[in-house]
Structures are given as C-alpha cells and as structure tokens.
A = this chain, B = another copy of it.
C-alpha cells in the first residue's frame, strides 16, 4: 500500500463498511477484534485490525474490497482461524474479512459428483451433507470439525486422506474469486476435465489470501469408500519403520491412511491416555498405523501384504483387524497426538515434507537436533506422503530462541533431504524466509510478478507468504 491512511480515511472506511454490512457486520472494539487477530499458530506476528467485517454475499465482498482498496487499507481474508502458519493473522490497521456468514452449501449434485459451496461452510458439514448421498469429500485436516472450506482452499489443506486421495487442490473444479479491483473472476468449470486457458483454479488454491477472496467453490466428490481395515505395527528401530514405509510404497500398495509416530510421540500419547500402547515392550518403539478402505477381499489382501512387509522390515509387533470398532480404538492413539502435545505446554509444530524414503533420516535428524538444543522434539506425521510434523516442546519464553533454532534446523534438514518446508500448513507470517530459501531468487521473483499482476497495489494480505 502506498503511504499510511489518515485517521479520517480510516473512520470514513468504517462508516462506508457499516453502511454496507450493518453495525452487526462490522466490529471495531479492540477487545472484540483481537479475537480475530490470530490463527492457531501462537508464534507469528499479528497486529490490531481497524475492523473485522462479516460479508454475507459476493457483492458484500466486492464492496468491502473496493472500499478498502480506495482507502489504501489492506484486507486479510479469514475463515475460522484454525490455520497453523499465521496466514490469517491481522496486519496492524487492516480490515479482517471473515467468511463465516457465507456458509451455504449451494448445491450437491450426486449425478455429477460435485458440490458448490460458499467459503464459510465447515469442512465437517460438507462431509455430512454429501455422506447422505453416499459421497465423500476427501480433504480432512485435523481441524475438520471447525475449519472452513475457504480456509482449506486458501492453504491447500491436507490431512490423513492425502496418501490415497490427494490434497484440497485435487478436489477443486472451479472457484469464484473477488479480485483486488473488486471484480469477480470465475475459474475452472463443472466438468471433471477441461484445459481451456491457464489453470487459475489451482493458482488461487494455496495462495493464502494473497491474490483474492474466494467467495464460492465447485468441489469434486468421490464415492464413499468402504469401512477401513486397520493395521498397527511397532518397530524397535526408527530405521526399520522407515524401511517398512519404503517397502510399502515399493510393493505398489496405496493404503488409505499411513501414519507414523516416533518413540517420543508414543511416550507422550501413552502418558496422556494413561495406557500402554505396547510400543514400550520393544524398547521405546516407533508406531506405524495403516488403513485400507479397498473393501472386502481387496482390503483383506492389502492388509495381509502390509502385515508381511512390516514383519519382514523387522516389526516387533504387528496386528491387523477388519473390525471397524477395533480399528477406531487403534486410531485413538493417532487422535490423541494433538491433545497429548497440547498438554505438554508450549510447542512449535513443523510441517516439512520429505521423499517417503527419507522419513527415518528425518526422524533420526530430529533426535540429533533435540540433543543439540536440549529440548524435546516429538515426531509424527503422514508417512504415506512424507509429510512430517516434528514438534519442538519448550518450557517458556526463555527457551523460545532455542525452540525457534530447532524449528529452523528442522526446515533445513527437510530441504536437505530433498523435501519442502511446508507439506500442508502453509507459509503465512512465520516461514517467509524459508519460502524464499526454498524458491530461490528466480522462483521468488516469479511469485512477486504474479502477485503484482493480480494485486498491483497490495490490497490482499501484504507481506504474508512473501514480501
């Protein structure tokens, strides 16, 4: 934005926004707006918004964007604030545009396996709506009970399903987006295939609110998969668990879920649940959890091969079940990871993604970093796609710098293993330096060129993702 707006401009803008959205649609009391100033990453910087606005329609969004652009005041789009990169964090004096009132499931079309939604729809609500038609919307970030689809689209969210069903972008057919000049762009289409023009849909997905405000999305759905069979394997040595993952990929298996928890994570979960997961018997083991939703004989066969491969890779314990209830019980260990970590106090969760053959190297590297900085690091993640979440546990402000240096060392380790600094959480306002490092100067320049082409005056989330 060119120059700082005057106080008069700010007051005029609030008046204009209020005239459009009503007083209930524009919050300015700092005690209230501060609850919209941050997402769930406690570490990224944030400012105090000038106002928090709640548009109900695409036309409302157009009006907000136009007014803010005219006033030279940046817009930060936001869904439920469940993000983990600070992408939705407020900038000082900005307008936070919250999509939660735009929460209609506009259409479910079972015959064409698609849904049209507004950005404020909760992920779980769409899942439930399409399940009535025996359909399935795969992207399942851990926050699916409360995150919005708009946020999922903005961050290209992942989840446990990705190993078989891909990330959010793989389920998007088209978007409606309000651009920086207030005009409405429609990308993509309602057909499952189409190559007319550039793939703008996938350019906006994952752009973290820096290119426009998504006001509607056409999402592709899949047939509802079968109830999954579940396998748990415990490995005494991390390298063996890593070898099992490599062999599972090499054997041509595509489980519908494949999660890994290192010994430190297992210990944290055991402590949290007050139960013994059986991993301790093998001397502090690494846990691998797999599911197959192939159904019937195919699932049984897939689980048999998984069992054999894990045993051959040196698992101390392998157990599989086709019983959904027992499978759900085994999955509790995975579900308890986040609460277990929460209960350990302050933490920084990283989000590197490495080639699937390098998972053991990542876990071992994190153990070295943990020893170097003298802080506990628990490692768990989506082994099926190499997206790992090493989490640095630290005691408080006095350990922050050491935690941050461990976090950075993990990013460097991930890149060094041929990976990326973000598998699913995004860059936001915390990892800009790492993005620049990963992209290199040409990549960064192209990012800037594209952003400038679409938002020449820096209306949307300036400074977020990259400067």
Contacts A111-B250, A111-B356, A298-B297; is A196 near B421 (CB within 8 Å)? yes
Of A155, A418, A420, most B-chain CB atoms within 10 Å: A420
Does A325 interact with chain B (Cβ within 8 Å)? no
Contacts A111-B249, A199-B205, A252-B223; is A194 near B423 (CB within 8 Å)? yes
Does A101 interact with chain B (Cβ within 8 Å)? no
Is the pair A195, B423 in contact by a Cβ cutoff of 8 Å?
yes
- Taking CB atoms and an 8 Å cut-off, the chain A residues in 186-236 that contact chain B are 186-187, 189-200, 202-203, 205-207, 211, 222-224
Contacts A249-B111, A249-B113; is A386 near B354 (CB within 8 Å)? no
Is the pair B435, A197 in contact by a Cβ cutoff of 8 Å?
yes
CB distance from A257 to the nearest CB of B (A): 14
CB distance from A439 to the nearest CB of B (A): 6
User: Which residues of A are at the interface with B, using a C-beta cutoff of 8 A?
Assistant: 110-113, 134-135, 155-156, 158, 162, 167, 169-170, 179, 183-187, 189-200, 202-203, 205-207, 211, 222-224, 246, 249-250, 252-254, 294-298, 301, 353-357, 382, 385-387, 418-427, 431, 434-435, 438-440, 442-443, 446-447, 449-450, 452-454, 465-466
Bound state CA distance, A410 and B185, in angstroms?
25
The one of B134, B197, B353, B419 that contacts A447, using a Cβ cutoff of 8 Å: B197
Contacts A191-B385, A202-B202; is A449 near B453 (CB within 8 Å)? yes
Bound state CA distance, A432 and B170, in angstroms?
27
The one of B135, B187, B250, B454 that contacts A110, using a Cβ cutoff of 8 Å: B250
Which residues of chain B are within 8 angstroms of A419 by Cβ–Cβ distance?
189-191, 194
The one of B186, B193, B223 that contacts A387, using a Cβ cutoff of 8 Å: B193
Is the pair A196, B427 in contact by a Cβ cutoff of 8 Å?
yes
CB distance from A108 to the nearest CB of B (A): 13
Bound state CA distance, A452 and B250, in angstroms?
43
Which residues of chain B are within 8 angstroms of A183 by Cβ–Cβ distance?
442
Is the pair A200, B443 in contact by a Cβ cutoff of 8 Å?
yes
The one of B355, B438, B454 that contacts A112, using a Cβ cutoff of 8 Å: B355
Is the pair B252, A134 in contact by a Cβ cutoff of 8 Å?
yes
Is the pair A195, B426 in contact by a Cβ cutoff of 8 Å?
yes
Which residues of chain B are within 8 angstroms of A156 by Cβ–Cβ distance?
195, 199
Bound state CA distance, A179 and B445, in angstroms?
11
Number of copies of this chain that the complex holds: 2
Bound state CA distance, A449 and B387, in angstroms?
34
Which residues of chain B are within 8 angstroms of A194 by Cβ–Cβ distance?
353, 419-420, 422-423
Contacts A200-B443, A254-B223, A298-B296; is A425 near B195 (CB within 8 Å)? yes
Contacts A190-B355, A446-B454; is A197 near B423 (CB within 8 Å)? no
Contacts A206-B198, A223-B252; is A420 near B450 (CB within 8 Å)? no
Which residues of chain B are within 8 angstroms of A200 by Cβ–Cβ distance?
443, 446-447
Is the pair A193, B158 in contact by a Cβ cutoff of 8 Å?
yes
Which residues of chain B are within 8 angstroms of A426 by Cβ–Cβ distance?
195
Is the pair A424, B195 in contact by a Cβ cutoff of 8 Å?
yes
Is the pair B443, A197 in contact by a Cβ cutoff of 8 Å?
yes
Contacts A250-B110, A297-B298; is A420 near B191 (CB within 8 Å)? yes
Bound state CA distance, A355 and B114, in angstroms?
10
Closest Cβ neighbor of A252 among chain B residues = B223
Bound state CA distance, A376 and B449, in angstroms?
48
Which residues of chain B are within 8 angstroms of A252 by Cβ–Cβ distance?
134-135, 223-224
Is the pair B353, A193 in contact by a Cβ cutoff of 8 Å?
yes
Is the pair A450, B198 in contact by a Cβ cutoff of 8 Å?
yes
Which residues of chain B are within 8 angstroms of A250 by Cβ–Cβ distance?
110-111
Which residues of chain B are within 8 angstroms of A465 by Cβ–Cβ distance?
197
Which residues of chain B are within 8 angstroms of A447 by Cβ–Cβ distance?
197-198, 200
Bound state CA distance, A111 and B184, in angstroms?
44
Is the pair A193, B442 in contact by a Cβ cutoff of 8 Å?
no
Contacts A191-B385, A193-B167; is A253 near B223 (CB within 8 Å)? yes
CB distance from A356 to the nearest CB of B (A): 6
Closest Cβ neighbor of A427 among chain B residues = B196
Beyond the given pairs A113-B249, A196-B420, A449-B454, 14 more chain A to chain B contacts, judged by CB atoms under 8 angstroms and listed by A's residue number, are A156-B195, A167-B195, A184-B442, A186-B440, A187-B443, A190-B355, A191-B386, A192-B385, A193-B386, A193-B387, A193-B423, A195-B427, A224-B252, A446-B454
Bound state CA distance, A424 and B295, in angstroms?
33
